């Protein structure tokens, strides 16, 4: 999926944007320097407008660039699919844990030290041979950030948001996942109040693997329902 590439450029953009803000604080032309960065692809209106906004907010002391960098770093490095993958792997190994995860995922996540859901609920849905779950936010891009980190670009795309509901099998086919007609597809629409985590089926050939080794097999897209996990 080329969403990864888009996501990288978005991260670069965020990083560059906050670096530009740091430059503004010391009176250097950080924004100008960043705008010349050929990697940035940023000659877009949005990028330039965002830089201008960051510079103004920083000069007026309304935004602390160090704080902004810390927030970006948190979602780039500390939070990511590895957090959700740990829950999924454990659910494969421990039937009681799995039952609790399906019963109240938010409570389980909280017990694991996963924070940041604030007021939103978290619901885990499990894929089985008979049921495939797919998550979307038709309204905007609600996503379980504390478990999966930054959403991929395709998740925010208007085409995905519309078609995941109207033609989920067609969308999954374009992701490379051909489901048998007998498999029921359930589409979950995320909102400001509720986020979803898909528990993918444990791949074949993974008997005896440790929790860490299993977690390493769990992909971000599988936890959104956009792919299944192939045999080892």
Residue 132 pairs in a beta bridge with 185
At residue 184, φ and ψ (nearest 5 deg) are -80, 130
For residue 147, the minimal CB distance to Co ion (Å) is 15
At residue 191, φ and ψ (nearest 5 deg) are -140, 180
* Total site size for Co ion, rule CB under 5 A: 5
Select which of 18, 91, 137, 190 is catalytic.
137
Q: Do residues 216 and 85 make contact, with C-beta atoms less than 8 angstroms apart?
A: yes
Q: Does 162 bind Co ion (CB under 5 A)?
A: no
Q: Which are the contacts of 64, defined by CB distance < 8 A and separation ≥ 6? A: 58
- Pick 125 or 142: Cβ nearer Co ion: 142
What is the Cβ-side half-sphere exposure of residue 127, based on CA atoms within 13 angstroms? 25
- Pick 70 or 140: Cβ nearer Co ion: 140
- Pick 174 or 189: Cβ nearer Co ion: 189
- Pick 23 or 152: Cβ nearer Co ion: 152
Q: Do residues 75 and 10 make contact, with C-beta atoms less than 8 angstroms apart?
A: no
Residue matched to tokens 């936010």: 137
**Catalytic residue at 142?**
yes
Q: Which residue is nearest to Co ion (CB)?
A: 142
Residues in region 4-33 near Co ion by CB under 5 A: none
Residues in region 110-149 near Co ion by CB under 5 A: 137, 139-142
In whole angstroms, what is the distance from residue 16 CA to residue 10 CA? 10
In whole angstroms, what is the distance from residue 201 CA to residue 185 CA? 14
For residue 186, the minimal CB distance to Co ion (Å) is 18
**Catalytic residue at 141?**
yes
**Catalytic residue at 137?**
yes
For residue 188, the minimal CB distance to Co ion (Å) is 12
Select which of 18, 91, 142, 190 is catalytic.
142
Task: Catalog residues that contact Co ion under the rule CB under 5 A.
Answer: 137, 139-142
Show which residues are catalytic: 137, 140-142
């Amino acid at each position: 999926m080329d969403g990864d590439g888009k996501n990288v450029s978005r991260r670069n953009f965020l990083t560059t944007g906050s670096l530009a803000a740091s430059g503004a604080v010391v009176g250097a032309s950080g924004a100008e320097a960043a705008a010349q960065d050929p990697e940035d692809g940023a000659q877009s209106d949005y990028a330039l407008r965002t830089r201008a906004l960051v510079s103004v907010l920083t000069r007026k002391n309304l935004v602390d660039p160090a704080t902004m960098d810390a927030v970006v770093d948190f979602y780039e490095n500390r939070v990511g699919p590895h957090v959700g993958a740990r829950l999924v792997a454990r659910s494969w190994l421990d039937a009681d844990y799995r039952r609790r995860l399906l019963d109240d995922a938010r409570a389980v996540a909280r017990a694991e030290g996963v924070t940041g859901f604030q007021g939103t609920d978290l619901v885990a849905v499990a894929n089985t041979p008979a049921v495939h779950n797919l998550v979307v936010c038709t309204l905007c891009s609600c996503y379980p950030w504390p478990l999966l980190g930054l959403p991929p670009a395709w998740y925010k795309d208007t085409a995905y948001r519309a078609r995941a509901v109207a033609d989920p099998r067609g969308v999954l086919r374009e992701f490379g996942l051909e489901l048998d007609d007998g498999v029921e597809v359930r589409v979950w629409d995320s909102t400001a109040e509720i986020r979803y985590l898909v528990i993918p089926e444990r791949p074949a050939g993974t008997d005896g693997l440790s929790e860490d080794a299993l977690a390493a097999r769990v992909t971000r897209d599988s936890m959104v329902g956009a792919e299944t996990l192939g045999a080892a």
